[in-house]
């Protein structure tokens, strides 16, 4: 039986802050994990969100996925990303270990209200960059002052 590298009631987040995890049901198992060849793998991709002035930019790690595999949706202040690719392992192959997901999904609350008009997404080297223009309510817009 292995031990966990953290206290069951405290978990350290990426920013170094410690939060209480009272609703977690942390248990240790004496059974070895079993690998199921036909089980679909599901995971959450890593995401970086950048406030770039008059737009919000999201960088999503999606290695192994093609642009046609990825679906990006936005709704004011929410970004939804999901991607599904075909499994490379055949039904007759003997699976020793399975760790690569075939489906990933992530929902992110954005730091500002964005609009779909003018949004762009591009996949390069396994990173999907999504540029989302902020809505007028979340950025300064210049108003021309008329003279006499």
The topology (CATH level 3) of 35-137 is Immunoglobulin-like (2.60.40)
**Neighbour tally for 56: CB within 10 Å:** 25
Cα 108 from chain centroid (whole Å): 7
What tens digit of pLDDT does each residue of 128-147 get?
999 999 987 766 667 778 87
What tens digit of pLDDT does each residue of 15-63 get?
454 444 444 444 444 555 454 545 555 689 999 999 998 999 999 999 9
> What's 116's DSSP letter?
S
Tokens 């002052």 belong to residue? 145
**Neighbour tally for 89: CB within 10 Å:** 13
Global model pTM greater than 0.75: no
């Amino acid at each position: 039986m292995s031990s966990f590298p953290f206290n069951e009631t405290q978990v350290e987040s990426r920013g170094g802050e410690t939060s209480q995890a009272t609703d977690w049901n942390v248990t240790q198992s004496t059974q070895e994990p079993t690998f199921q060849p036909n089980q679909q793998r599901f995971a959450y991709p890593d995401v970086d969100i950048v406030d770039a002035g008059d737009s919000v930019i999201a960088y999503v790690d999606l290695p192994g996925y093609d642009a046609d595999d990825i679906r990006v949706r936005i709704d004011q202040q929410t970004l939804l990303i999901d991607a599904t690719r075909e499994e490379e392992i055949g039904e007759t192959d003997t699976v020793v270990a399975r760790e690569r997901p075939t489906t990933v999904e992530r929902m992110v609350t954005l730091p500002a209200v964005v609009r779909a008009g003018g949004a762009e997404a591009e996949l390069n080297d396994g990173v999907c960059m999504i540029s989302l223009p902020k809505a007028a309510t979340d950025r300064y817009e210049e108003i021309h002052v008329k003279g006499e």
